[in-house]
Amino acid sequence: MTTPFDAAGEIDRPAFVRQVEWMLDEGVDGLVVGGSTGEGFALDEREVLDLSALALDITAGRVPVMTSIMADSSRAATQRARLLSELPLAGLQVAPPHYIFAPDDDGMVSFYADVAAATHLPIVVYNVIAWAQIRPDLAARIMTSVPSVRAVKQSDKDLGGFADLVRLVGAERVFGAIDGSLMSCYDLQVAGSIAAIASAAPGANVKLWRSVKEGDRSRALAINAALCELWSHLSAKNLPARVKVAQSVQGIPSGHPRAPMAGVLRSEKEAIRTAVRTLEAL
């Protein structure tokens, strides 16, 4: 999900509620609060907790809700994990520490072990940090060493590495986040996707998933091509702002990005609008 902010940078709760309802109407199988697309890096602990509770209230058990933790130390990550453990979440999506340096392999295992010790909730490794990428063999080691680490959300663009991860840990323990290649991820029979493109066009992504599952290759290829075209206009440094534009085109008020993230130029908005309309025509 995205996090709607008003012009002053405050969370727009009614817009967040509307987005949850829209996601459910579009047929999604679950929600993630406070990830990268949700500008989780710009949310404080109380905001993350409040948004998670609000999402749980609205969904009322209809779909699972997971919350993302993006922190730069074991201390900060475990503190958020303890706080979020007060809620009936389905799990926590936890990114590795991401400020400047990457821990070594032992440090990465220890980080996830510390977070796991702070919560009863299952953990999904959020493998998104370019300079702290968790290799497939390290992911397998973490999951063996820390049993409550149940899955990996794989965001790296390398499909070969994605296939290696699936081979090592099992398809049912991997979520695809290669936004421009979700059909390829689904073809490997992974558990699903947690991706920005799914936030921008949830209904289309649901249809892509179902088409692959049902073996309707022509339909899947058409939807995938249109999603890839949309992704080409979303993939940029101000990705969350662009996803919000895609949502607003579909009648979902998504507000502004939180400063200092840049907004979206008029020409870029028009390109996103055209790509969304192409998807809707399918």
Class at the top of the CATH hierarchy for domain 13-281: alpha beta
* Two structure tokens written together for 48: 């993350």
Query: How far is 83 from 79, CA to CA, in rounded Å?
Result: 6
Query: How far is 128 from 115, CA to CA, in rounded Å?
Result: 18
Please choose, from the candidates 211, 208, 166, 168, the residue with its C-alpha nearest in 3D space to the C-alpha of residue 191: 166
* Two structure tokens written together for 10: 């405050």
Residuewise pLDDT in 10s, the chain (282 residues): 999 999 999 999 999 999 999 999 999 999 999 999 999 999 999 999 999 999 999 999 999 999 999 999 999 999 999 999 999 999 999 999 988 788 999 999 999 999 999 999 999 999 998 889 999 999 999 999 999 999 999 998 889 999 999 999 999 999 999 999 999 999 999 999 999 999 999 999 999 999 999 999 999 999 999 999 999 999 999 999 999 999 999 999 999 999 999 999 999 999 999 999 999 998
DSSP state of 121: S
Integer CA distances (angstroms), 279 to 6, 200, 204, 219, 273, in order: 28, 11, 7, 12, 10
End-to-end CA distance of the chain: 23
Contacts 24+ apart (CB under 8 A), 216-222: 220/183, 221/183, 222/282
Record the pTM: 0.96
Q: Which residue ranges make up each domain of the chain? A: 13-281
